[in-house]
Amino acid sequence: MSTTALIFTLVLLAGFSFWLGRKRSFAVVNGDAWKLHSLPNYYGYYTAIWCGIPALMITAMWLFFENTIITHLVVVDLPEEIRSLSPDRLNLVVNDIRNLVSGNIVSSDVDPAMRAAADHYIHLQAISQAALTVLVLAIAISGALLALRAIRQEKRARNAVERIVMIFLLASSTIAIFTTLGIVLSVLFEAIRFFETVPLTSFLFGLEWSPQMAIREDQVGSSGAFGAIPLFAGTLLISFIAMLVAVPIGLLSAIYLAEYASKRVRAMAKPLLEILAGIPTVVYGFFAALTVAPFIRDSGGLLGLDVSSESALAAGLVMGIMIIPFVSSLSDDVINAVPQAMRDGSEGLGATKSETIKKVIIPAALPGIVGGILLAVSRAIGETMIVVMAAGLSANLTANPLEAVTTVTVQIVTLLVGDQEFDSPKTLAAFALGLLLFVVTLILNIIALHVVRKYREQYE
């Protein structure tokens, strides 16, 4: 039975055992449901859980380990000369076998040893699938039977079911932690492996970035250079341009909508601006590459400036547009959190609206606004698609917004997309960059969230 069919059968079995459990609970009290400790449905749930959950867990475990075990068994049976290969080459062989198994290689001239190994693999897979089916169905049925036998009048089915639900709730809430842990471990391990070949200092302070490693040792430029400074500089340049666009426009439009605009204007303009927040970043990237970058290049040309068609200006400008609603909605929140009494106090003294805003509201809301801007910066630094589509690939160390620069995220994408080889410094470098990106944005977020929370408490 295929895995999908197996899971489907399990669900059916669980549904059936719900019915059985419910029926049985009536039977033990001769139909007087009120005599039972719990409602009849709880006996149904109880039986269904015993039928489904252990079986599902076994299936998951089995599928998790199946590949590793089968591969191991296949490798053990490979001819001696293949087994003695270096781990890297052996991995390639295993990959080939897997490709043979899934039918991705249809060429006729396949090494008979490989063919045999693939057949072996398929054979083991079939055995494993059959064993799994038998085992899981047996566990499901015996689980249901055990649960059915345990049903008595005084059986606390509700408590048992609620305990299991509670475990599920608790387990779900830990996913956030496991995600963070997963992120940290996955980037950290690969990054450490990277720093074994490239020293941390030359990564953090190196001025040259050219990750193009030669495939063979004797090729020119095989060393590659992994100095990340040009990437930081590019990232910061583009983020800075983005903030130059987003902060004034976002902040001023939030102020205008909150303090000046009539109800009708607010009801119209606010949702229209919020559309910007819902547009996927890939759309912004396309807009930047198709419309904005050529426009900037052409208008630069009219002024006699030499503007790159992948200029930092274009990417930064469009990224700024993307961040406008983010800044404006955060500013809107903090401006509205300033109590009306502050406005009354200032206007009661005869201050004009703009004086009230500039001298009372903004200073009062400043921590919140700064927090919002930090979050926006973190977003700009981590933004990927716009820069992948509109910024360049070459790592120029420049502060000129008309030139092309590259960013951390662009390099992560270029290093990892399409590259299948997992151990070269080139791929590992992507993880080192990922670690850096994660750490920087994490610090920004923690500071920002802290500042914003402190600010909210001030007025609560």
Partner 1 sequence: MDNSPKHTTDLVRQGLAKRYRQEARFRRMGMTAIILGLAFVSMLFISIIGNGYSAFWQTYAQLEVHLDASKIDPEGTRDSDVIADADYGGIIKQSLRDMFPDVTGRRDKRTLYRLVSNGASYDLKDFVVANPDRIGTTIQLWVPADDDIDMLMKGHFDRDKPESERRIKDNQIAWVDTFVEQNRIESRFNKTFFTAGDSRDPELAGIWGAATGSFFTLIITLLLAFPLGVATAVYLEEFAPQNKWTDVIEVNINNLAAVPSIVFGLLGLAVFINFIGMPRSAPLVGGMVLTLMTLPTIIIASRAALKSVPPSIREAALGVGASKMQMVFHHVLPLAMPGMLTGTIIGMAQALGESAPLLMIGMVAFIVDIPTGVLDPSTVLPVQIYLWADSPERAFVERTSAAIMVLLAFLIAMNALAVLLRKKFERRW
Partner 2 sequence: MTFQIDSGIDLPGQELGLVSKMPAVENNGKVSRDDRKTVGDITHADPRMTCRDVHVWYGDKHALNDVDLDIGKNEVIAMIGPSGCGKSTFIRCLNRMNDSIDGCRVSGDLIMDGQDIYDRKMDVVLLRAMVGMVFQKPNPFPKSIFENVAYGPRIHGLAAAKTDIEEIVVTSLQKAGLWDEVKDYLDQPGTGLSGGQQQRLCIARAIAVNPEVVLMDEPCSALDPIATARIEELIDELREHYTIAIVTHSMQQAARVSQRTAYFHLGDLIEVGETDQIFTNPKHQLTEDYITGRFG
Binding site for partner 2 (CB under 8 A): 263, 339, 341-352, 355, 359-360, 363-364, 458
**Binds partner 1 (CB under 8 A): choice among 13, 55, 273, 391:** 273
Task: Determine contact, residues 276/323, Cβ cutoff 8 Å.
Answer: no
**Binds partner 1 (CB under 8 A): choice among 81, 108, 154, 177:** 177
Task: List the end-to-end C-alpha distance of the chain, in Å, as a whole number.
Answer: 60
CA count, 13 A, side-chain hemisphere, 127: 10
CA angle 426, 312, 332 (to 5 degrees): 110
Residues 407-446 that bind partner 1 (CB under 8 A): 409, 412-413, 416-418, 422, 430-431, 434, 437-438, 441-442, 445-446
Q: Is 275 in the site for partner 1 (CB under 8 A)?
A: yes
Kindly state the smallest distance separating residue 23's Cβ from partner 1, in Å.
22
Q: For 351, which DSSP code?
A: -
446 binds, among partner 1, partner 2, none (CB under 5 to 8 A by kind): partner 1
Q: Is 381 in the site for partner 1 (CB under 8 A)?
A: yes
Burial of 327 (0-12, 13-18, 19+ CB in 10 A): buried
Q: What is the dihedral of CA 209, 214, 220, 221, to 10 degrees?
A: 10
Kindly state the smallest distance separating residue 352's Cβ from partner 2, in Å.
6
Q: Is 236 in the site for partner 1 (CB under 8 A)?
A: no
304 binds, among partner 2, partner 1, none (CB under 5 to 8 A by kind): none
**Binds partner 1 (CB under 8 A): choice among 1, 91, 286, 342:** 286
Q: Which of 398, 246, 374 is nearest to 317 (CA)?
A: 246
Which residue, 199 or 294, is less far from partner 1 as judged by CB? 294
**Binds partner 1 (CB under 8 A): choice among 170, 215, 220, 341:** 170
Number of residues that bind partner 1 (CB under 8 A): 91
Which residue, 221 or 294, is less far from partner 1 as judged by CB? 294
Q: Which of 407, 408, 409, 412 is nearest to 392 (CA)?
A: 407
SS (H, E, C) 401-418: CCCECCCHHHHHHHHHCC
Residues 136-165 that bind partner 1 (CB under 8 A): 158, 162, 165
Kindly state the smallest distance separating residue 100's Cβ from partner 1, in Å.
16
Which residue, 148 or 338, is less far from partner 1 as judged by CB? 338
The one-letter amino acid at 352? T
Which residue, 249 or 351, is less far from partner 2 as judged by CB? 351
**Structure tokens that stand for 263 in this block:** 């109800």
Kindly state the smallest distance separating residue 353's Cβ from partner 2, in Å.
9
**Structure tokens that stand for 269 in this block:** 């303009």
Q: Is 298 in the site for partner 1 (CB under 8 A)?
A: no
Cα separations in angstroms, 7 against 2, 10, 59, 197: 9, 5, 9, 45
CA count, 13 A, side-chain hemisphere, 138: 6
Q: Is 189 in the site for partner 1 (CB under 8 A)?
A: yes
Break the chain down into helix, strand, coil percent, rounded to 5.
75, 0, 20
233 binds, among partner 1, partner 2, none (CB under 5 to 8 A by kind): none
> What are the residues whose beta carbons fall under 8 Å from the beta carbon of 119, sequence distance 6 or more?
none
Task: Determine contact, residues 151/47, Cβ cutoff 8 Å.
Answer: yes
385 binds, among partner 1, partner 2, none (CB under 5 to 8 A by kind): partner 1
Kindly state the smallest distance separating residue 219's Cβ from partner 1, in Å.
27
Which residue, 196 or 355, is less far from partner 2 as judged by CB? 355
Burial of 272 (0-12, 13-18, 19+ CB in 10 A): exposed
Say how far residue 290 (Cα) sits from the centre of its chain. Answer: 27
Which residue, 53 or 351, is less far from partner 2 as judged by CB? 351
Which residue, 35 or 453, is less far from partner 2 as judged by CB? 453
347 binds, among partner 2, partner 1, none (CB under 5 to 8 A by kind): partner 2
